[in-house]
Amino acid sequence: MNAIYILWLRQLKRFIRKKASIVGAIGQPIIFLLAIGFGFGPVFAKAGAGNYIQFLAPGIIVMSVLFTSIFTGLEIIWDKQFGFLKETFVAPVSRFEILLGKTLGGATVAMIQGILVFLITLIAGFRPHLSTLPLAFLFLFLVAMLSSALGAAIAARLDDMQGFPLIFNFLVQPLFYLSGAIFPIKNLPPVLDFITKINPFSYGVDGLRYAFNGVNVFPPALSLTVLFGVTIVILAVGAYQFSKVQL
């Protein structure tokens, strides 16, 4: 448990030191919220779907958490290249504990940024149900854990930082855009409908939207089960990949 705590604390210290990255991570969701939210708001209202900011805000919050926590993987690659991971591996702790510590650290950092973005959405006009905030933060934490574990599992297979942006562009961004964060996932063409239903982040966005607005496509219990189950599977895959890392 000490190893998990130390690695978790190290992730937080990195986050606090990198003030510029905090501003950058918040900046992208703000641009999405303002450009897409207010740009497509009138079209969304004319279609009879209501207030677009109310619909979009949960998706933007998930975006900030997903994009932040996935970069846990980039930090692991950095640690590989500069020798810190080797020092960690020779410590008398299991590699699963190392993975769990880094995943929890990345998820905690992502949660902090997600809460900051949540506060910004309130300024932009988002009006959630405050009585269900604990449920909303549970969904957000599961999204953060899932994406942080995914980033770590991917990083275990990569030896240089150049490959990670390709993974981000061709895997992570499609997962976000096809999660229902920006557009409703009802009445989609069969192919897109299938993709959104097998995308675990669809359940995170839908669960968060339910907690904030009371609107959902999937049963909340199903969303929680999918997020928790997929996170466990990804952690297991990540632990296996970590066991194969040679330094």
Q: What is the pLDDT of residue 7?
A: 62
Nearest Cα to 79, choosing from 51, 61, 99, 64?
99
Res 10: pLDDT: 65
Give the pLDDT score at 179.
92
Chain centroid offset of residue 127 CA: 22
72-82 and 133-155 helices, crossing angle to 10°: 30
Which residues of the chain fall below pLDDT 50? none
Cα atoms in the Cβ-side hemisphere of radius 13 Å centred on 92:
0
Tokens of 122: 């309130």
| Counted domains in the chain | 1
What residues make up the domain containing 174?
2-243
Reading the block at residue 221, the tokens are 């219990």
Q: How many CB atoms lie within 10 A of CB 6?
A: 17
pLDDT value of residue 131: 87
The pLDDT of residue 19 is 52
* CA–CA distance, 62 with 181 (Å, rounded to integer): 8
Per-residue pLDDT, 27: 75
* Exposure of 19 in the CB half-sphere (CA atoms within 13 A): 0
Confidence (pLDDT) at 163: 74
The Cα-based distances of 202 to 98, 99, 156, 193 in angstroms read 28, 25, 25, 11
Tokens of 87: 């020092």
Q: How many CA atoms lie within 13 A of 129 on its CB side?
A: 13
Report yes or no: 172 and 154 within 8 Å, Cβ to Cβ.
no
Output the CA angle 149-218-35, nearest 5 degrees. Answer: 70
